[in-house]
A and B are shown apart, each in its own frame.
Chain A
Protein backbone atom coordinates (compact mmCIF):
# COMPACT_ATOMS: atom_id res chain seq x y z
CA UNK A 1 0.00 0.00 0.00
CA UNK A 2 1.08 3.51 -0.79
CA UNK A 3 -0.09 6.42 1.31
CA UNK A 4 0.22 10.18 1.11
CA UNK A 5 1.91 12.14 3.86
CA UNK A 6 1.32 15.86 4.24
CA UNK A 7 3.80 18.21 5.89
CA UNK A 8 1.52 20.71 7.62
CA UNK A 9 4.01 23.57 7.74
CA UNK A 10 4.57 23.65 3.99
CA UNK A 11 1.51 21.87 2.59
CA UNK A 12 3.82 19.52 0.68
CA UNK A 13 2.62 15.96 0.16
CA UNK A 14 4.85 12.95 -0.40
CA UNK A 15 4.21 9.26 -0.98
CA UNK A 16 5.27 6.55 1.43
CA UNK A 17 4.63 2.79 1.39
CA UNK A 18 3.84 0.62 4.41
CA UNK A 19 7.40 -0.70 4.44
CA UNK A 20 9.06 2.71 4.18
CA UNK A 21 9.68 4.94 7.14
CA UNK A 22 8.23 8.46 7.04
CA UNK A 23 11.85 9.73 7.03
CA UNK A 24 12.76 7.61 4.02
CA UNK A 25 9.75 8.96 2.11
CA UNK A 26 10.71 12.51 3.06
CA UNK A 27 14.26 11.95 1.87
CA UNK A 28 12.92 10.79 -1.50
CA UNK A 29 11.72 14.36 -2.11
CA UNK A 30 15.37 14.87 -3.03
CA UNK A 31 15.58 18.05 -1.00
CA UNK A 32 19.11 19.06 -0.10
CA UNK A 33 20.07 19.25 3.53
CA UNK A 34 17.54 16.91 5.10
CA UNK A 35 19.66 15.41 7.83
CA UNK A 36 18.95 11.72 7.74
CA UNK A 37 20.44 11.18 11.17
CA UNK A 38 20.93 7.69 12.49
CA UNK A 39 17.74 6.19 10.97
CA UNK A 40 17.58 3.80 13.93
CA UNK A 41 15.48 5.72 16.45
CA UNK A 42 18.52 6.71 18.51
CA UNK A 43 19.51 10.30 17.73
CA UNK A 44 16.20 12.20 17.71
CA UNK A 45 16.91 14.44 14.72
CA UNK A 46 13.75 13.42 12.82
CA UNK A 47 11.14 14.05 15.55
CA UNK A 48 7.66 14.74 14.17
CA UNK A 49 4.11 14.97 15.50
CA UNK A 50 1.49 12.95 13.65
CA UNK A 51 -1.62 15.09 13.69
CA UNK A 52 -3.84 12.79 11.64
CA UNK A 53 -3.85 9.21 10.36
CA UNK A 54 -2.81 5.70 11.35
CA UNK A 55 0.76 4.47 11.69
CA UNK A 56 2.95 1.82 13.29
CA UNK A 57 6.20 2.44 15.13
CA UNK A 58 9.39 0.53 15.87
CA UNK A 59 11.67 1.00 18.88
CA UNK A 60 12.83 4.58 19.48
CA UNK A 61 14.86 6.29 22.19
CA UNK A 62 12.96 7.49 25.27
CA UNK A 63 15.63 10.20 25.55
CA UNK A 64 14.01 11.87 22.55
CA UNK A 65 10.37 10.78 22.73
CA UNK A 66 8.85 10.37 26.19
CA UNK A 67 6.01 7.87 26.71
CA UNK A 68 3.62 10.82 27.17
CA UNK A 69 4.76 12.36 23.90
CA UNK A 70 4.34 9.04 22.16
CA UNK A 71 0.74 8.84 23.45
CA UNK A 72 0.08 12.21 21.84
CA UNK A 73 1.41 11.16 18.44
CA UNK A 74 5.02 12.36 18.68
CA UNK A 75 7.42 9.91 16.99
CA UNK A 76 10.79 9.66 15.28
CA UNK A 77 10.04 9.57 11.56
CA UNK A 78 12.76 6.96 10.92
CA UNK A 79 10.88 4.41 13.04
CA UNK A 80 7.34 5.28 11.91
CA UNK A 81 5.49 3.53 9.09
CA UNK A 82 2.19 4.72 7.59
CA UNK A 83 -0.97 2.63 7.76
CA UNK A 84 -3.11 5.29 6.11
CA UNK A 85 -2.82 8.83 4.75
CA UNK A 86 -1.05 11.01 7.31
CA UNK A 87 -0.53 14.57 8.31
CA UNK A 88 2.52 15.62 10.35
CA UNK A 89 4.31 18.58 11.89
CA UNK A 90 8.12 18.69 12.06
CA UNK A 91 9.62 19.05 15.55
CA UNK A 92 13.23 17.86 15.40
CA UNK A 93 16.46 19.43 14.23
CA UNK A 94 15.40 18.98 10.61
CA UNK A 95 12.60 21.53 11.05
CA UNK A 96 14.81 24.36 9.82
CA UNK A 97 15.61 22.50 6.62
CA UNK A 98 12.21 21.02 5.87
CA UNK A 99 10.22 24.12 6.70
CA UNK A 100 12.58 26.84 5.42
CA UNK A 101 11.20 29.11 2.69
CA UNK A 102 12.71 27.96 -0.59
CA UNK A 103 13.42 24.54 0.85
CA UNK A 104 16.69 23.04 1.91
CA UNK A 105 19.01 25.14 -0.21
CA UNK A 106 18.07 28.31 1.63
CA UNK A 107 18.40 26.63 4.99
CA UNK A 108 21.76 25.22 4.02
CA UNK A 109 23.01 28.63 2.93
CA UNK A 110 21.94 30.23 6.20
CA UNK A 111 23.52 27.38 8.15
CA UNK A 112 26.92 28.16 6.68
CA UNK A 113 26.93 31.58 8.31
CA UNK A 114 26.49 30.15 11.75
CA UNK A 115 29.40 29.03 13.90
CA UNK A 116 30.09 25.33 13.69
CA UNK A 117 29.67 24.91 17.41
CA UNK A 118 27.16 26.59 19.69
Chain B
Protein backbone atom coordinates (compact mmCIF):
# COMPACT_ATOMS: atom_id res chain seq x y z
CA UNK B 1 0.00 0.00 0.00
CA UNK B 2 1.43 3.33 -1.00
CA UNK B 3 -0.68 5.75 1.00
CA UNK B 4 0.62 5.72 4.56
CA UNK B 5 1.33 8.24 7.28
CA UNK B 6 -0.93 11.29 7.10
CA UNK B 7 -4.00 10.28 5.08
CA UNK B 8 -6.34 13.27 4.69
CA UNK B 9 -7.94 16.27 6.35
CA UNK B 10 -10.55 14.62 8.57
CA UNK B 11 -12.13 17.40 10.56
CA UNK B 12 -12.41 21.17 10.90
CA UNK B 13 -13.90 23.13 13.76
CA UNK B 14 -15.35 26.52 12.88
CA UNK B 15 -16.79 29.39 14.89
CA UNK B 16 -20.22 30.72 13.97
CA UNK B 17 -22.06 33.82 15.16
CA UNK B 18 -25.53 32.25 15.46
CA UNK B 19 -25.67 28.51 16.13
CA UNK B 20 -29.29 27.85 15.14
CA UNK B 21 -28.97 29.73 11.85
CA UNK B 22 -25.76 27.80 11.13
CA UNK B 23 -27.24 24.39 12.01
CA UNK B 24 -30.01 25.09 9.49
CA UNK B 25 -27.44 26.13 6.90
CA UNK B 26 -25.08 23.18 7.34
CA UNK B 27 -27.95 20.67 7.49
CA UNK B 28 -30.43 21.87 4.90
CA UNK B 29 -28.52 24.16 2.55
CA UNK B 30 -25.04 22.61 2.40
CA UNK B 31 -26.67 19.26 3.10
CA UNK B 32 -24.40 17.70 5.70
CA UNK B 33 -25.75 15.17 8.20
CA UNK B 34 -25.78 16.12 11.89
CA UNK B 35 -24.13 13.32 13.89
CA UNK B 36 -23.96 14.70 17.43
CA UNK B 37 -23.77 17.52 19.97
CA UNK B 38 -21.47 17.66 22.98
CA UNK B 39 -21.40 19.25 26.42
CA UNK B 40 -19.31 22.15 25.06
CA UNK B 41 -22.18 23.07 22.77
CA UNK B 42 -20.42 21.91 19.63
CA UNK B 43 -22.52 20.49 16.79
CA UNK B 44 -21.01 17.72 14.67
CA UNK B 45 -21.65 17.01 11.00
CA UNK B 46 -20.39 14.73 8.27
CA UNK B 47 -20.93 14.62 4.52
CA UNK B 48 -23.21 11.80 3.36
CA UNK B 49 -20.51 9.60 1.83
CA UNK B 50 -18.01 9.98 4.67
CA UNK B 51 -17.79 6.99 6.96
CA UNK B 52 -16.11 8.49 10.03
CA UNK B 53 -18.37 10.02 12.67
CA UNK B 54 -17.66 13.67 11.96
CA UNK B 55 -15.81 16.04 9.65
CA UNK B 56 -17.26 19.49 10.39
CA UNK B 57 -17.79 20.91 13.88
CA UNK B 58 -19.31 24.30 14.62
CA UNK B 59 -19.58 26.23 17.85
CA UNK B 60 -21.16 29.54 18.77
CA UNK B 61 -18.66 32.36 19.35
CA UNK B 62 -18.44 36.14 19.07
CA UNK B 63 -16.07 35.89 16.08
CA UNK B 64 -16.18 33.79 12.93
CA UNK B 65 -13.25 31.70 11.69
CA UNK B 66 -11.34 28.46 12.08
CA UNK B 67 -10.55 26.87 15.46
CA UNK B 68 -8.48 24.00 14.08
CA UNK B 69 -8.06 21.42 11.34
CA UNK B 70 -7.35 17.75 12.02
CA UNK B 71 -5.66 15.28 9.68
CA UNK B 72 -6.21 11.54 10.04
CA UNK B 73 -3.14 9.28 10.13
CA UNK B 74 -3.07 5.58 9.32
CA UNK B 75 -2.49 4.16 12.82
CA UNK B 76 -1.88 4.89 16.47
CA UNK B 77 1.76 3.90 15.93
CA UNK B 78 2.08 6.56 13.23
CA UNK B 79 0.46 9.13 15.53
CA UNK B 80 3.02 8.37 18.25
CA UNK B 81 5.88 8.46 15.75
CA UNK B 82 4.81 11.76 14.20
CA UNK B 83 4.38 13.29 17.67
CA UNK B 84 7.99 12.32 18.45
CA UNK B 85 9.15 13.57 15.03
CA UNK B 86 7.45 16.95 15.55
CA UNK B 87 9.09 17.34 18.96
CA UNK B 88 12.47 16.38 17.51
CA UNK B 89 11.96 19.03 14.82
CA UNK B 90 11.38 21.63 17.54
CA UNK B 91 7.60 21.87 17.30
CA UNK B 92 5.74 22.06 20.62
CA UNK B 93 2.89 19.57 20.74
CA UNK B 94 -0.03 18.96 23.05
CA UNK B 95 -2.05 15.77 23.45
CA UNK B 96 -5.83 16.07 23.62
CA UNK B 97 -7.26 12.91 25.18
CA UNK B 98 -9.63 10.58 23.35
CA UNK B 99 -13.26 11.51 23.84
CA UNK B 100 -12.70 15.28 24.11
CA UNK B 101 -14.14 15.24 20.62
CA UNK B 102 -17.04 12.81 20.19
CA UNK B 103 -16.09 9.39 18.75
CA UNK B 104 -12.51 10.57 18.19
CA UNK B 105 -9.28 9.20 19.63
CA UNK B 106 -6.23 11.02 20.98
CA UNK B 107 -5.27 14.13 19.04
CA UNK B 108 -1.77 15.57 18.77
CA UNK B 109 -2.11 19.32 18.43
CA UNK B 110 0.43 21.97 17.42
CA UNK B 111 0.50 25.51 16.10
CA UNK B 112 1.69 26.10 12.56
CA UNK B 113 3.88 29.21 12.04
CA UNK B 114 0.98 30.63 10.01
CA UNK B 115 -1.06 30.76 13.23
CA UNK B 116 -3.30 27.80 12.44
CA UNK B 117 -3.96 25.07 14.99
CA UNK B 118 -3.23 21.73 13.35
CA UNK B 119 -4.09 18.29 14.74
CA UNK B 120 -3.26 14.68 13.94
CA UNK B 121 -5.42 11.78 15.06
CA UNK B 122 -5.62 8.08 14.24
CA UNK B 123 -9.05 7.01 15.41
CA UNK B 124 -12.58 8.14 14.67
CA UNK B 125 -15.56 5.81 14.89
CA UNK B 126 -16.70 4.42 11.54
CA UNK B 127 -20.46 4.98 11.47
CA UNK B 128 -20.70 4.19 7.76
CA UNK B 129 -22.22 6.14 4.89
CA UNK B 130 -25.75 4.87 5.37
CA UNK B 131 -24.98 1.80 3.25
CA UNK B 132 -24.03 -1.72 4.27
CA UNK B 133 -20.45 -2.87 3.71
CA UNK B 134 -21.88 -5.84 1.83
CA UNK B 135 -23.77 -5.31 -1.43
CA UNK B 136 -24.41 -1.52 -1.11
CA UNK B 137 -26.41 0.76 -3.44
CA UNK B 138 -24.76 3.59 -5.35
CA UNK B 139 -26.18 6.36 -3.20
CA UNK B 140 -28.79 7.18 -0.56
CA UNK B 141 -31.49 9.89 -0.32
CA UNK B 142 -29.11 12.06 1.76
CA UNK B 143 -27.01 12.39 -1.42
CA UNK B 144 -29.73 14.71 -2.78
CA UNK B 145 -30.58 16.71 0.34
CA UNK B 146 -29.24 20.25 -0.13
CA UNK B 147 -25.93 20.70 -1.92
CA UNK B 148 -24.90 17.33 -0.43
CA UNK B 149 -21.14 17.16 -1.02
CA UNK B 150 -19.41 13.78 -1.02
CA UNK B 151 -16.82 14.81 1.56
CA UNK B 152 -14.91 17.61 3.28
CA UNK B 153 -11.93 17.79 0.95
CA UNK B 154 -9.36 20.51 1.78
CA UNK B 155 -8.95 24.04 3.12
CA UNK B 156 -7.12 27.26 2.27
CA UNK B 157 -5.45 29.10 5.15
CA UNK B 158 -4.16 32.69 5.22
CA UNK B 159 -1.23 33.69 7.42
CA UNK B 160 2.42 34.77 7.59
CA UNK B 161 5.50 32.51 7.30
CA UNK B 162 3.93 30.05 4.87
CA UNK B 163 7.38 28.67 4.01
CA UNK B 164 7.86 27.65 7.67
CA UNK B 165 4.51 25.84 7.69
CA UNK B 166 5.48 24.21 4.39
CA UNK B 167 8.76 22.99 5.89
CA UNK B 168 7.01 21.29 8.83
CA UNK B 169 4.34 19.72 6.63
CA UNK B 170 6.90 18.50 4.07
CA UNK B 171 9.85 17.56 6.28
CA UNK B 172 7.97 15.99 9.18
CA UNK B 173 4.53 14.98 7.94
CA UNK B 174 5.33 13.95 4.37
CA UNK B 175 3.27 16.45 2.38
CA UNK B 176 4.56 17.50 -1.05
CA UNK B 177 4.23 20.69 -3.10
CA UNK B 178 1.85 20.44 -6.08
CA UNK B 179 1.52 24.06 -7.25
CA UNK B 180 2.72 27.47 -6.12
CA UNK B 181 2.48 31.14 -7.03
CA UNK B 182 5.87 32.82 -6.90
CA UNK B 183 6.16 36.41 -5.65
CA UNK B 184 7.26 38.93 -8.25
CA UNK B 185 10.66 39.54 -6.63
CA UNK B 186 11.37 35.83 -6.37
CA UNK B 187 11.78 36.09 -2.60
CA UNK B 188 9.30 33.30 -1.98
CA UNK B 189 5.76 32.24 -2.70
CA UNK B 190 2.47 34.10 -2.43
CA UNK B 191 0.62 30.80 -2.24
CA UNK B 192 1.29 27.06 -1.98
CA UNK B 193 -0.85 23.97 -2.58
CA UNK B 194 0.25 20.87 -0.67
CA UNK B 195 -0.90 17.27 -0.95
CA UNK B 196 -0.53 14.26 1.32
CA UNK B 197 -2.38 11.96 -1.07
CA UNK B 198 -3.14 11.88 -4.81
CA UNK B 199 -5.45 14.89 -4.48
CA UNK B 200 -4.16 18.07 -6.12
CA UNK B 201 -4.36 19.65 -2.65
CA UNK B 202 -5.17 18.63 0.89
CA UNK B 203 -4.26 22.05 2.32
CA UNK B 204 -3.19 25.35 0.80
CA UNK B 205 -1.76 28.60 2.16
CA UNK B 206 -1.72 32.21 1.01
CA UNK B 207 0.75 34.68 2.53
CA UNK B 208 -1.15 37.21 4.62
CA UNK B 209 -0.14 39.56 7.45
CA UNK B 210 -2.74 38.39 10.00
CA UNK B 211 -2.14 34.89 11.42
CA UNK B 212 -4.65 32.06 11.68
CA UNK B 213 -7.12 33.24 9.07
CA UNK B 214 -9.49 31.04 7.11
CA UNK B 215 -10.03 31.62 3.41
CA UNK B 216 -12.23 28.63 2.76
CA UNK B 217 -13.19 25.09 3.70
CA UNK B 218 -13.87 22.99 0.62
CA UNK B 219 -16.41 20.28 -0.13
CA UNK B 220 -16.21 17.83 -3.01
CA UNK B 221 -19.01 17.25 -5.52
CA UNK B 222 -19.17 14.51 -8.16
CA UNK B 223 -19.63 16.54 -11.32
CA UNK B 224 -19.68 19.98 -12.91
CA UNK B 225 -23.45 19.56 -13.16
CA UNK B 226 -23.62 19.24 -9.38
CA UNK B 227 -21.55 22.41 -9.04
CA UNK B 228 -24.21 24.17 -11.16
CA UNK B 229 -26.95 22.59 -9.03
CA UNK B 230 -25.14 23.91 -5.94
CA UNK B 231 -25.19 27.41 -7.45
CA UNK B 232 -28.96 27.12 -7.98
CA UNK B 233 -29.44 26.00 -4.39
CA UNK B 234 -27.35 28.95 -3.19
CA UNK B 235 -29.65 31.36 -5.03
CA UNK B 236 -32.80 29.53 -3.87
CA UNK B 237 -31.53 29.87 -0.29
CA UNK B 238 -30.10 33.41 -0.72
CA UNK B 239 -26.58 32.26 0.14
CA UNK B 240 -23.95 34.97 -0.46
CA UNK B 241 -21.86 33.83 -3.44
CA UNK B 242 -18.32 35.19 -3.70
CA UNK B 243 -17.55 33.96 -7.22
CA UNK B 244 -18.54 31.22 -9.63
CA UNK B 245 -19.43 28.81 -10.93
CA UNK B 246 -16.05 29.00 -12.62
CA UNK B 247 -12.77 27.09 -12.83
CA UNK B 248 -9.42 27.46 -11.09
CA UNK B 249 -6.27 27.43 -13.24
CA UNK B 250 -4.43 26.08 -10.20
CA UNK B 251 -5.54 22.44 -9.67
CA UNK B 252 -8.06 22.89 -12.57
CA UNK B 253 -11.01 22.32 -10.23
CA UNK B 254 -14.45 23.69 -11.11
CA UNK B 255 -15.70 25.79 -8.26
CA UNK B 256 -18.00 28.15 -6.43
CA UNK B 257 -16.84 30.25 -3.48
CA UNK B 258 -19.67 31.27 -1.15
CA UNK B 259 -20.18 32.18 2.51
CA UNK B 260 -21.86 30.46 5.41
CA UNK B 261 -24.22 32.66 7.50
CA UNK B 262 -21.30 33.87 9.67
CA UNK B 263 -19.11 34.82 6.73
CA UNK B 264 -16.89 31.75 6.75
CA UNK B 265 -16.13 31.11 3.10
CA UNK B 266 -16.75 27.62 1.76
CA UNK B 267 -16.14 26.06 -1.64
CA UNK B 268 -18.17 23.49 -3.49
CA UNK B 269 -15.98 22.06 -6.20
CA UNK B 270 -15.46 19.19 -8.57
CA UNK B 271 -12.54 17.73 -10.42
CA UNK B 272 -9.02 18.93 -10.64
CA UNK B 273 -6.32 16.49 -11.53
CA UNK B 274 -4.69 13.76 -9.48
CA UNK B 275 -1.12 14.23 -8.39
CA UNK B 276 1.76 12.03 -7.28
CA UNK B 277 4.71 12.87 -5.05
CA UNK B 278 7.17 12.46 -7.94
CA UNK B 279 5.40 15.13 -10.01
CA UNK B 280 7.28 18.37 -10.65
CA UNK B 281 5.46 21.29 -8.92
CA UNK B 282 3.66 23.70 -11.23
CA UNK B 283 4.69 27.32 -10.85
CA UNK B 284 2.49 30.37 -11.52
CA UNK B 285 3.92 33.87 -11.81
CA UNK B 286 2.34 37.04 -10.41
CA UNK B 287 1.81 38.26 -13.98
CA UNK B 288 -0.66 35.42 -14.57
CA UNK B 289 -2.03 35.07 -11.05
CA UNK B 290 -5.57 36.04 -12.12
CA UNK B 291 -5.77 33.14 -14.59
CA UNK B 292 -4.27 30.84 -11.97
CA UNK B 293 -6.95 31.58 -9.39
CA UNK B 294 -9.98 32.24 -11.62
CA UNK B 295 -9.33 30.69 -15.00
CA UNK B 296 -12.26 32.28 -16.87
CA UNK B 297 -12.28 35.81 -15.39
CA UNK B 298 -8.46 35.86 -15.62
CA UNK B 299 -8.41 38.38 -12.75
CA UNK B 300 -8.63 38.18 -8.99
CA UNK B 301 -11.91 39.50 -7.64
CA UNK B 302 -12.00 42.24 -4.98
CA UNK B 303 -12.45 39.75 -2.18
CA UNK B 304 -9.85 37.05 -2.88
CA UNK B 305 -7.00 38.67 -0.97
CA UNK B 306 -9.01 40.76 1.50
CA UNK B 307 -12.01 38.82 2.80
CA UNK B 308 -11.15 36.17 5.39
CA UNK B 309 -12.44 35.13 8.80
Residues of chain A having any CB pair with chain B under 8 Å: 33, 35-43, 45, 58-63, 93, 115-118
Contacts and interface: CB of A to CB of B under 8 A. Distances in A.
Closest 9 CB pairs of A and B: A42-B263, A38-B263, A42-B64, A40-B263, A59-B17, A62-B62, A39-B240, A35-B302, A63-B63
Interface string B1-26: 00000000000000001100000000
A28 to B, nearest CB: 15
B303 A35 contact: yes
A112 to B, nearest CB: 9
Interface of B: 17-18, 62-65, 183-184, 190, 207-209, 240, 242, 259-265, 286, 289, 300, 302-303, 305-309
B300 A116 contact: yes
B303 A61 contact: no
A39 B263 contact: yes
A63 to B, nearest CB: 4
B183 A42 contact: no
A118 B306 CA distance: 11
Given A43-B308, A61-B17, A61-B64, A33 B190 contact: no
Nearest to B208: A117
Contacts of B264: 38, 40, 42
Given A36-B240, A63-B63, A42 B309 contact: yes
18 contacts: A36-B303, A39-B263, A40-B17, A40-B64, A40-B262, A41-B17, A42-B17, A42-B63, A42-B263, A42-B309, A43-B263, A45-B307, A59-B262, A60-B17, A61-B262, A61-B309, A116-B190, A117-B207
Given A60-B17, A116-B190, A117-B183, A41 B64 contact: yes
B19 to A, nearest CB: 10
A40 B260 CA distance: 7
Contacts, number: 86
A40 B62 contact: no
Contacts of B62: 61-63
Contact of A40 (B209, B240, B286, B306): B240
A39 B259 contact: yes
Contacts of A36: 240, 302-303
Contact of B265 (A38, A61, A115): A38
Best-buried of B190, B289, B302 by chain A (most CB within 10 Å): B302
A93 B183 CA distance: 24
B216 to A, nearest CB: 11
Contacts of B289: 116
B209 A37 contact: no
B288 to A, nearest CB: 12
A40 B15 CA distance: 12
Contacts of B261: 40
Contacts of A115: 184
Given A61-B64, A116-B300, A38 B259 contact: yes
A32 B263 CA distance: 22
A118 B209 contact: yes
B262 to A, nearest CB: 5
Contacts of B306: 35, 37, 45, 93
A104 to B, nearest CB: 10
A37 B17 contact: no
Contacts of A42: 17, 63-65, 259, 262-264, 309
